[in-house]
Amino acid sequence: MTEKEYYTDPYLRRFTATVTGCEPVGDGWRITLDRTAFYPEGGGQPGDSGWIGGVRVTDTHEKGGEVVHTAAGPLEPGQTVDAEIDWDRRFSLMQNHSGEHIVSGIIHRMFGLENVGFHMGSDAVTIDLSGELDAEQLAQVEREANRAVWENAEIQIAYPSAEALAQLDYRSKKELTGAVRIVTIPGSDVCACCGTHVRRTGEIGAIKLLTAQRNKGGVRVWMLCGARALADYAAKNTDLYAISGLLSAKIHETVPAVERLLAENTQLEQRAAQLEKRLFALKAERFQEGSARAIVFEEGLDHAALRRYCQALCARAELAAVFSPDGQGGWRYVLGSMKKDPRPLGKLLNQAFSGRGGGNRELVQGTVLGEASKIAAFCESLS
């Protein structure tokens, strides 16, 4: 079995080890060592990456007590190698994992909710809770969590005896037996956990709860800590100042400025729709009232414009159809009639020109492929 240095010293970045196994898998290799500082995926924490003997390690897992390193190339069993973990990534994971403990512990203490799901993703850490919290409650949790960081308390790791464990009030998602690793953050959390953590809470840096939404009867919370929280803040700060400049609004007045812009845009869209409706009515006048067919091909029409144009034509003809290029070599269309259900005719059109779509008793819409002249001739023949 692999000697697991990440438990005895989670700050170990470089080490020397002997290769005990190497086998191909997919387009990579599985390498085992007699000792390793690479943490394998588990407990919601991703596996470490880094380098072994100059070979890139992309992931780490545990199988049957052996820590398996997924590498880009092979190494010779029996060879002594120098290894190094990707420390910036690992330390960020330690910051976020430790911060998650604080947040989950405070939520459990303040509101009695359980952490029923935890994932450290590429964008954020997510926590799934057994019940709901509102925005003010989450803001309260965030304030308490950052106070815990400022206290710079020591994060304690212990393996209590069975008797001591039975008397201990700790968080765990399942019943545990044997040697149980307990992580204690004084004043914040006591939890069974196999992950790596920073030594003191001050190393976590800022804890930021990003957003939350209802999830399976509870709530899912997105959060970031430390270096990732700082990077997230920097990116959003840059975006916010850019938006402020575009809107000619002060940095803390961008929301009402955007609301005004949206309201103005809605008014313009309504005005444009009215003008477009009048335009299509004028264009439709080239067809005499009572015409059998009104078939039109026109560029630059979206679905809403297609419908408006077709409705204008339906007032002049028994059957109307409007087509516009879809930008992919085909045609968007709307077909309608005020005298008969257009759905059977739309089905025939789709069958003839590799189309798809549907609608109601007034209008059908979809896409078709084919030459405009052939499509127009087919529509003229519909009865």
Strand 331-336 and strand 356-359: the pairing is unpaired
On whether the CB atoms of residues 57 and 48 are closer than 8 A, the answer is yes
DSSP class of residue 47 equals: P
Q: Where in the chain is the domain with CATH 2.40.30.130?
A: 3-85
Q: Let me know if domain 282-381 sits in CATH 3.40.50.300.
A: no
This prediction has a pTM of 0.79
Q: Where in the chain is the domain with CATH 3.30.980.10?
A: 91-234
**Along the 383 residues of the chain, how does pLDDT read in single tens digits?**
899 999 999 999 999 999 999 999 988 999 999 999 999 998 889 999 999 999 999 999 999 889 999 999 999 999 999 999 999 999 999 999 999 999 999 999 999 999 999 999 989 999 999 999 999 999 999 999 999 999 999 999 999 988 888 888 989 877 766 789 999 999 999 999 999 999 999 999 999 999 999 998 899 999 999 999 999 999 999 999 999 999 999 999 999 999 999 999 999 999 999 999 999 999 999 999 999 999 999 999 999 999 999 999 999 999 999 999 999 999 999 999 988 899 999 999 999 999 999 999 999 999 999 999 999 999 998 87
Rounded to whole angstroms, what are the CA distances from 374 to 24, 177, 295, 378, 380? Answer: 58, 75, 12, 6, 10
Architecture per CATH, domain 3-85, reads as Beta Barrel (2.40)
Contacts of 216 (CB under 8 A, 6+ apart): 128
CATH classification number, 91-234, choose in 3.40.50.2000, 3.20.20.105, 3.40.30.10, 3.30.980.10: 3.30.980.10
Q: Which two tokens stand for residue 325?
A: 């290029």
Buried b (16+ CB within 10 A) or exposed e, 64-84: eebbbbbbeebbeeeeebebe
Q: Where in the chain is the domain with CATH 3.10.310.40?
A: 282-381
